[in-house]
Structure 1
Amino acid sequence: MKNLPVLDLSIIALYLLAMILVGVYFSRKNKSADQYTKASGKIPGWAIGISLYATFLSSNTFLGVPGKTFGSNWNVFVFSISMPFAAWVAAKYFVPFYRSTGEVSAYTNLEKRFGTWARTYAVTCFLLTQLVRMGSIFFGISLTLQALTGYSMEMIMLVTGVCIVVYTVMGGMEAVIWTEVFQGILITVGALIIVYLLVSNMPGGVSKIVEIGNNDNKFSLGSLSLDFTTSTFWVILLYGFFINLNNFGMDQNYVQRYHTAASAKEASKSVWLCVWIYAPASLIFFIIGTCLYAYYQVHPELIEPVKLQAAAERLGAGASSFDISSLAAILKPSDYGDKVMPYFMVTMIPAGIVGLILSGILSAAMSTISSGMNASATVFSEDIYKRFYKSDINEKQNMRLLHLATIVFGLLGMGCGIAMIGVKSILDIWWELSGIFAGGMLGLFLLGIISRKTGNLEAFAATVIGILVVVWASLSYMIPDDYAYLRNPLHANMVIVIGTLAIFLTGTILTKIKSLAK
């Protein structure tokens, strides 16, 4: 692959500099922890909604969804279809609940409800989820920029990571939200430009893309059979509902934004605005994946460098050109899907426009990572440091703690990104790991909200059982073949579903048993 022209590199450099200057601008306002974490509750609902949209629309969407669609079909779009159902629950119950507590942390109430252990467990799950998410996004953006610039993935993560850390530490939540508003618009425009270029360069235009897509079943949303062992329509719908319920109801990234709104009504509006923008906008990325597939079906010779690169990476150093060519000839589209978008960008998009689109991808990555860093730092400050070490710290000490924690979580996110180098699909690794960490956390939260009679002991027992179920569901593939009947037969995306239900139903049953025993 050829490297980026100086013009495109200059545009990217200017964008990174602009983000740092945004942090400098907002740093003048950050004189208190309330301003740093909640923007003093003065952000309009529409801006929060676009900010939530930008958080959803990470570089995992920009790169992972077209790559996944190129290698399979539109099955993953069912995730977007599930969002309105979760949003309804969030707007009706979760947002008013959090606004009424006044607590900036999403997990303080769990301690009031069940005890210290519940808060600690939820905080641990959240922080692990954030590290995985930041790592997957660092990995995705470095994979793209490596293909386009030739620099190592580690170097790219370091440079982009430093820029993100600087503007997040200096700017706080207000800088995060307003830059996400700009970033959400920029990445959407970039995606539309790619669609236009693909269609205009495609012989036969839209009709040919639709013809190839129909012939190869590229528009399928998955099987409608009640099969939960493969990625059917129902598996993705259930996964999407539960993970979005976790996002809107338990994820500090979202809960913290509810407190930046002027009122509960504005906060609820922001949830619905996020959904109504994200659902159709995400469709653009599925269209891109299908267009890429059709384009390279018409021009199969143009995709050969990508297949050779994927084969070389699989075989490793020292592989012969014959072995690489032989493997490349039998690779399936799913084996190199994540590499296709960067390749198209550098080979088919004019200089200057590539820089703008890459800035859009960078903006999506930066918005999600900066949001995760700020939320993780807030949780560390409120739920760990102040709770277990020292609660009576002054404003200056609190700000210093938040700044330091933001830096540490940014560095840990980069470390996770480096550890992910070599994974096959960005989207798959993120979905699988987030489902593992989020399952128990959501189940415990729902138990506390819905089952008001459940006590500390029942909740603790239910959580232990739920954790065991999640561990079994996630790791049972390691069981030897002689005991294959003990493995989890369900699809990996069902982990969050069975983990959540295991905790909620066990806690409810134990509560019923306790009440009958009295």
Structure 2
Amino acid sequence: MHALNWVDWIILILTLLAIVIYGTWQTRGSKNVKDYLRGGNSSKWWTIGLSVMATQASAITFLSTPGQAFNDGMGFVQFYFGLPIAMIVICMVFIPLYYRLNVYTAYEFLENRFDLKTRTLAAVLFLIQRGLAAGITIFAPAIILSVVLGWDLLTLNIIIGLLVIIYTVSGGTRAVNVTQKHQMIVIFIGMWVAFFIIVGKLPEDITFSRALEIAGASGKMEILDFSFSLNNRYTFWSGIIGGTFLMLSYFGTDQSQVQRYLSGKSIKEMQLGLIFNALLKVPMQFFILLVGVMVFVFYQFNSAPVNFNPTATELVLSSEHKADYEALQDKHESLFDDKKEIIEGLFASKDKDKDLALQELGKINQQDTDIKNEARSLIEKVAEQQEVKVESNDKDYVFIHFILNNLPRGLIGLLLAVILSAAMSSTSSELNALGSTTTIDLYIRNTGEKTEAEKVKASKWFTFAWGIMAIAVACVADLAENLIQLVNIIGSIFYGNVLGIFLLAFFFKFVKGNAVFIAAIITQIIVIILYFLNEYELINLPFLWLNFVGCIVVIFLAFLMQLIHINEK
């Protein structure tokens, strides 16, 4: 448990309150549904770009991604390789169509092209997956902060959720856009400060290039994997193919993103906003992963626990397996001493000796990884015996452990503000989109025309209701191997199918509504079955490929059904 200094508390509270108050004040008094749901179409391209990035960059990004790099290296960046391709396609195809049709949600277009039931199905699929994801974006920082700070998990879920509800319900889309712009500024400053502090805390003779060599010796700098193996979750091909389909679905058909750029002043502003995101997003993810790699190098010179999750450690140390766990800790500390000895003589060696020393360092780090895996297995064994749930995989705890134990006063508060700002920014987009989709695609469409005041009121109530639902999901959320993966898994189960529906709408004019509707239902069942078959290791299909499979299957089935004349409509 860590007690925050009063300086950290002041910085944390003032940063969060400033964002909430500013967002609420700047966007008070939306009189009509265009103002509330599309921000009065007043957003400039840089606001759109930052808002789109903030929606995707949740707290999970800043907690899990450094831990992902700490454990597995830079390879995770390949996940984002499809993003620039997707941005270009959306700018050329999706945005002009949405702009011409003057839609509030992406799913309105589907009724124009197919029928009401296809629009409703796509909207419902979005509501299910995004409703779950909204809960996870609250739960992710709450579970980790509750463990490392000793705060009550339930209270944290409610605080984060209510802060977001206040300004999202009050100001709608413009409040989300305005606050996200400032949240991203806080996030960028926080991550840059963290990076320079980590590098500054390395020994004097360890330059940045030497730090990269140390990381490379343990395989942390292996960025590109061109193998076609499905055993590797993140490869160049899964990023380019699966990633492109995921990003097309997410940015082109997910209302939480579509609503960000539909608020643009013009079609040009919308397109520039997405191109800005395409150019900045991959370097940003690369940088966040690099922060995690530098944390790994830092812990080559500074002792670290065998498992970063304090709750997991306490659980084992209070069990009958205490001696086994302490033996693993002793081995871990012994290897740390060996590493220090190798590194101290590393850069004084001749080139040939240096290469041998780096190889030896890599071997020791592999042994250390094996010990950490043994520790995780022991934690899982104890948790199973005691019938309690605890996260044995400590990826999500690495960065927060570093922050709390190594940053000076004030900066800890700033970095915690970064994490909570990111949670609020992504959650606000999700609630905003959930509220508008429920209002436009389900409520107004099925209950008849309403006045502007009634539409705004309904939007606010639905946004509020989804906020409460998200808090409820956060309060009952289960633990996952890695939270950033969990959000992407949920998306991958639904996104491919929805993207396929949109591609059929855009490019295959002879396919009609009934064929698409039936194909989409069958496809969703198939994708869910494939996911569980992979989970139980009956097949080998990493989750990123579900986007590709779902998209292709729904297109193929819709074609087939149309061709055999299941319907004429």
TM-score normalized by the length of structure 2: 0.84
Between the aligned partners of 2:15 and 2:309, the Cα distance in structure 1 is 32
Give the one of 213, 218, 221 matched to 1:219. 221
* Corresponding residue number in structure 2 for 1:264: 267
Query: 1:372-423 deviations in whole A, cap 9, x for unaligned?
Result: 11111000000111122x2222233222211111111112212222333422
CA displacement at 1:255 relative to structure 2: 1.6
Distance between the aligned counterparts of 2:509 and 2:323, measured in 1? 66
Are the equivalent residues in 2 in contact too, given 1:465–1:502 (CA < 8 A)? Answer: no
- Kept after mapping to 1: 8 A contact 2:69/2:220: yes
Match of 1:247 in 2: 250
Deviation at 1:307, TM superposition (A): 5.7
State the 1:120 CA deviation: 1.7
**Conservation of the 8 A alpha-carbon contact between 1:472 and 1:488:** no
Which of residues 438, 463, 479 in structure 2 aligns to 1:380? 438
In structure 1, the residue matched to 2:387 is none
2:549 pairs, out of 498, 509, 513, with: 498
Residue in structure 2 matching 1:471, options 523, 528, 533: 528
The range that moved more, 93-102 or 459-468, is 459-468
The answer for the alignment partner of 1:68 in structure 2 is 68
Check 1:399–1:325 CA distance in 2 against 1; reply closer, same or farther (3 A cut): farther
User: Which whole-Å CA distance do the structure 1 matches of 2:440 and 2:324 have between them?
Assistant: 55
Q: Which runs of 5+ in 1 are unaligned?
A: none
Counterpart CA distance in 2 for 1:175 and 1:474 is: 37
Q: Which amino acid aligns with 1:331?
A: K
Residues 36-62 of structure 1: per-residue CA shift (max 9 Å, x gap): 111111111221111112222221211
Q: Percent sequence identity over matched residues?
A: 26
Displacement of 1:435? 0.4
Q: Equivalences for 1:139-288 in 2 at 5 Å?
A: 139-203=139-203, 204-221=206-223, 223-231=225-233, 232-288=235-291
| Equivalent-residue separation in structure 2 for 1:366 and 1:57 (angstroms) | 10
Cα separation, 2, equivalents of 1:29 and 1:248: 29
How many angstroms does 1:205 deviate by? 3.3
Distance between the aligned counterparts of 1:363 and 1:83, measured in 2? 24
Which of 304-313 and 92-101 deviates more? 304-313
Q: Which residue of 431, 453, 459 corresponds with 2:516?
A: 459
Residues in 2 aligned to 1:471 and 1:233: alpha-carbon distance in whole angstroms: 25
Give the distance between the partners of 2:96 and 2:119, measured in 1 at CA: 20
SS of 2:308's equivalent in the other structure is helix
Shift of 1:318: 5.4
Which residue, 274, 298, 311 being the options, matches 1:295? 298
SS at match of 1:302: coil
Separation of aligned partners in 2, 1:157 and 1:426? 16
**Aligned counterpart, 1:336:** 394
2:103 corresponding residue in structure 1: 103
Name the CA distance, whole Å, in 2 between partners of 1:189 and 1:174. 23
The corresponding residue for 2:406 is 348
Structure 2 unaligned segments of length 5 or more: list them. Answer: 333-370, 377-391
Contact 2:129/2:494, CA 8 A, preserved across alignment: yes
| Cα displacement string for residues 422-460 of structure 1 (whole angstroms, at most 9, x for unaligned residues) | 222111211111100212111111111111111123213
- Count of residues in Structure 1 that have an aligned counterpart in Structure 2: 507
The structural deviation recorded for 1:256 is 1.6
Q: Is 1:429 aligned with 2:492?
A: no
Q: Distance in 1 between matches of 2:443 and 2:82?
A: 36
CA distance in 2, matches of 1:308, 1:358: 18
CA-based RMSD of the aligned residues comes to 2.3
- Report the equivalent of 1:360: 418
Task: For residue 123 of structure 1, report the CA deviation from its aligned partner.
Answer: 0.9
Determine whether 1:416 maps to 2:416: no
**CA deviation digits over 1:283-332, x for unaligned, max 9?**
11110111111211232x2335726543445x598566435535766324
Following TM superposition, by how much is the alpha carbon of 1:276 offset from its aligned partner in structure 2, in angstroms? 1.3
Taking the aligned partners of 1:421 and 1:478, their CA distance within structure 2 comes to: 16
For the 8 Å contact 1:59–1:364, the answer to whether it is kept is: yes
Letter in 1 for 2:489: E
CA deviations on 1:133-185 (whole Å, 9 max, x unpaired) are 22222122113422453112221111111111111111221111011111112
Deviation at 1:353, TM superposition (A): 1.1
Alignment of 1:29-108 (within 5 A): 29-108=29-108
